[in-house]
Structure 1
Amino acid sequence: MAAPVIFIDGDQGTTGLHIHDHLRGRSNLQLLTLPAAERKDLRRRAQAINSCDIAILCLPDAAAREAVAAIANPAVRVIDASSAHRTSAGWVYGFPEWQATQSQHIAEAHRVSNPGCYPTGAIALLHPLIEAGLLPRTYPVSIHAVSGYSGGGRPAVAQYEGASAATAPAFQVYGTALAHKHPPEIERYSGLSQRPLFVPAYGAFRQGIVLTIPLELRLLAPGVNAQQIQSALERHYAATAHVSVIPREQTSNITGLDPQALNGSNDMQLGVFVNEEYGHVLLTAVFDNLGKGAAGAAVQNLDLMLAA
């Protein structure tokens, strides 16, 4: 039996290159690539996507929609790494750890939408707490996240690694219009009933994310405490291979979080930090924006689909 054919459409972008690196040399699949001169040829791209078993789309949103529209072969399965289909009907959300049955849903799906990098961390923290009844769906959630500049794609990489690198900012907050594309995805898959406030930033490092969500215990149900929050996260991720929770006894000794700590992996580490005197809790997530936040997640989903 021939190995399944995998076509990466957009394999020259930051996510596509990392996926290609992950898959190159694997004997259980065949990689289909187009010569440089044909990558923008719509006819050749349509031929390629219709001749593969699974297509991985690493494209801008509009191009991803065009690629899906070009599929005439009903056997073709798709993993879309863009944000084009993350809240679309008929698409399975590609976060295997989201809930207990999600890995099976992904394995059986024909259309899988990879989560966004920032939403991966936010949903990982919020969803188990909302499902456990510890965090009200109406809680006024604020999310702050700092990513490596590769999260901005080729233009940001060029800014930090090209001729103008010396003048690139060490740190920059962006999305100050508060209309970023990620909050609807976070709202839907975390279980919130209203849009969260989301403030993203880039730092002068290539990849990695640290994401934080502050909570005030006085705004939660009476009796809810940090230990219950910790336990809910630990229960939710107890059987998962790629998401872990920092043990409670270790957080008191941690004075800082390195966004690059898990670079090169498909892992994510969650934390619950607490100041009992003030009733403040800080939820944290550290992961690689090009790993669990993009290419690593796509490969994880691909492996689930190949095993089905």
Structure 2
Amino acid sequence: MPTKKFNIYVDGQAGTTGLRINERLVNHPYVNILKIDEDKRKDYDARKELINSADIVFLCLPDVASIEAVSMINPDNTHTKIIDASTAHRTNPNWTYGIPELTPTARQEIAQSMRTAVPGCYASAFILPMYPLVNGGIIPKDYPVTAHGISGYSGAGKSAIAEYNDPNRSNLFPTYDTPRHYALGLHHKHIPEMQQKVGLTYAPIFSPIIADYYEGLEVAIQLHTRLLNKKVTPADVHKYLSDYYANQNFVKVMPFNPSQCLDSNFFNPIACNNTNKAEIFVFGNDDQIMLITRLDNLGKGASGAAVQNMNIMLGLDETLTLI
């Protein structure tokens, strides 16, 4: 383990993801958190100085601001590594995609990376079960994939959080008490990385839903076995995914037993809250298969994934402050 502490700067420390990253770093034994004065959070020169002073910079910013922050790195700076939690660089081939569990070489690629993109929360839950099945030849690359996701309102950002927490919301926002579909034009911002990272020929149809609880997320993918490349049962798919993700710290394929996977006959989307876990489930019958992944949209879907990547990029135990 290192004998020094690494300097870490969170650019966008006041946002939901930035706050959670800072919470995870407070007790980290090998980091020193660089702070910016509140009145200088948007000061170009102050940000640039901190960015170039850090060993790791987390970008918890809108896409345009993240791109600007990367441009602040001095040309001769060879030590500052960037971990971007925005959408800006997730499909950029010059950036490493930050799912350490996804391939046998992913951790090594992240460890050697100077630029890592944190996956989207919905994208992580979609890619984790889909990539092995497409890469393994079970699901055709041109399969017409349909999926839906449901998330707590924290995933929609500070303005949505304020609206959902408004004490007068029943008068101001009467529909906020119900689950609500959005992105009905079928152009959700996570779809490009879902398609690219899984290797799909066509973009999946993805339908997200926001619901009246704070955090926790699930993505469900429905498959017709008659359209797959080979005849498989839900048990076959479960075994394949279980073997693929065996012995991972944070990704687990749950038992193939609905009675152990349901809460009073219903699926629980918040069981991974306040963890960095992603749990994969397989349900179905001989004709149809349902894949469901649940995770904390602020954990493995954002801040937890970011800190896991940081640990790997610094040569540390990936579980530090995450278990």
TM (norm. structure 1) is: 0.96
- Paired residue for 2:288? 280
- Paired residue for 2:163? 159
Secondary structure, aligned partner of 1:270: strand
Secondary structure, aligned partner of 1:248: coil
C-alpha separation in 2, matches of 1:56 and 1:25: 17
Change (3 A) 1:131 1:123: same
Matched, 1:196 2:200: no
Secondary structure, aligned partner of 1:212: strand
The one-letter code of the counterpart of 1:117 is C
User: Contact 1:244 / 1:270 at 8 angstroms: preserved in 2?
Assistant: yes
1:176-225 residue CA offsets vs partner (Å, 9 max, x unmatched): 01111111100011121110001011100000001100001111134222
1:4-33 residue CA offsets vs partner (Å, 9 max, x unmatched): 100000011000000000001323110001
- Paired residue for 2:281? 271
C-alpha separation in 2, matches of 1:14 and 1:287: 16
Q: Paired residue for 2:36, among 34, 37, 42?
A: 34
Structure 1 residue 295 displacement after superposition: 0.4
The one-letter code of the counterpart of 2:267 is L
Q: Paired residue for 1:104, among 108, 112, 117?
A: 108
Q: Which consecutive segments of 4 or more residues in structure 1 shift more than 6 A? A: none
- Paired residue for 2:226? 218
User: Contact 2:282 / 2:290 at 8 angstroms: preserved in 1?
Assistant: yes
Matched, 1:19 2:21: yes
Matched, 1:185 2:193: yes
- Paired residue for 1:46? 48
C-alpha separation in 1, matches of 2:307 and 2:159: 24
Change (3 A) 1:266 1:118: same
User: Contact 1:251 / 1:272 at 8 angstroms: preserved in 2?
Assistant: no
The one-letter code of the counterpart of 2:33 is L
Change (3 A) 1:215 1:239: same
Structure 1 residue 169 displacement after superposition: 3.7
Change (3 A) 1:194 1:27: same
C-alpha separation in 2, matches of 1:42 and 1:305: 26
Change (3 A) 1:253 1:3: closer
Structure 1 residue 150 displacement after superposition: 0.3
C-alpha separation in 1, matches of 2:180 and 2:168: 16
The one-letter code of the counterpart of 1:263 is N
C-alpha separation in 2, matches of 1:221 and 1:2: 52
Q: Which moved more, 1:70-79 or 1:5-14?
A: 70-79
Matched, 1:127 2:128: no
TM (norm. structure 2) is: 0.91
> Gapped runs of 5+ residues in structure 2?
317-323
> Gapped runs of 5+ residues in structure 1?
none
User: Contact 1:252 / 1:273 at 8 angstroms: preserved in 2?
Assistant: no
Secondary structure, aligned partner of 2:306: helix
- Paired residue for 2:321? none
- Paired residue for 2:320? none
- Paired residue for 1:292? 300
Q: Paired residue for 1:57, among 42, 59, 72?
A: 59
1:107-154 residue CA offsets vs partner (Å, 9 max, x unmatched): 111000000000001000100101111100010001100001000010
The one-letter code of the counterpart of 1:174 is Y
C-alpha separation in 2, matches of 1:140 and 1:164: 43
The one-letter code of the counterpart of 2:271 is A
Q: Paired residue for 2:214, among 206, 213, 234?
A: 206
Matched, 1:262 2:272: yes
Secondary structure, aligned partner of 1:272: strand
Name the Cα RMSD after superposition: 1.4
- Paired residue for 1:115? 119
Structure 1 residue 250 displacement after superposition: 4.5
The one-letter code of the counterpart of 1:144 is H
User: Contact 2:261 / 2:267 at 8 angstroms: preserved in 1?
Assistant: no
Q: Paired residue for 1:150, among 151, 154, 161?
A: 154
Percent of pairs with identical residues: 39
C-alpha separation in 2, matches of 1:188 and 1:148: 26
The one-letter code of the counterpart of 2:117 is S
